[in-house]
Amino acid sequence: MEHQPQSPAPLGQPPSWIAQMIFASRWLQLPIYLGLIVVQAVYAYKFIKSLWHLIVNLNQMDANTIMLAVLNLIDVVMIANLLVMVIVGGYEIFVSKLRTEGHPDEPEWLSHVNASVLKVKLSMSIISISSIHLLQTFVNAANLPEKTMMWQLLLHLGFLASALAMAYTDKVLYGTSHKNH
């Protein structure tokens, strides 16, 4: 059996071994996603600790303190949800398929996720998290400098403008509406 020499790559294309190495480099993201799973565990710990603090100190708290504690718990949950979207969606899009088809716990959004949809979902999550922070700021307004509140509001408006610009750009470039997402 004779060894057939490999024909050179067509002009303008890298040799196949370079293309294979570039494609395989996506696996360098695996430690990043595994690290985000560790961060998810940190947030689970933070949630349990904050919940315990709320339960144990409930009788000493006034209504505003309870509301701030609950908003803090909601904030942790929303950040954890954001982490799940980044971990699951990012891995599925950029590294490898998860092969969850037919699994009863498969997230509904995973079946039609792509980089564009993930970008819009992430920006909406960031706006939601920023909204919780802004609500915490206004509940605690008497204890915060006006300048801090102004900067938080401006930052939130910046997130809104950025998300709208990304969604509009996506719609113009790809003609997608994200109605089902």
Instruction: Give dist(CA 118, CA 36) in Å, integer.
Output: 16
Which of the given ranges, 5-14, 25-34, 139-148, has the highest pLDDT on average? 25-34
| pTM of the predicted protein model | 0.72
Instruction: Give dist(CA 129, CA 132) in Å, integer.
Output: 5
Q: Please write the tens of the pLDDT for every residue from 42-68.
A: 999 999 999 999 999 999 999 888 988
Average pLDDT, the chain: 84
Radius of gyration of the chain (CA): 23
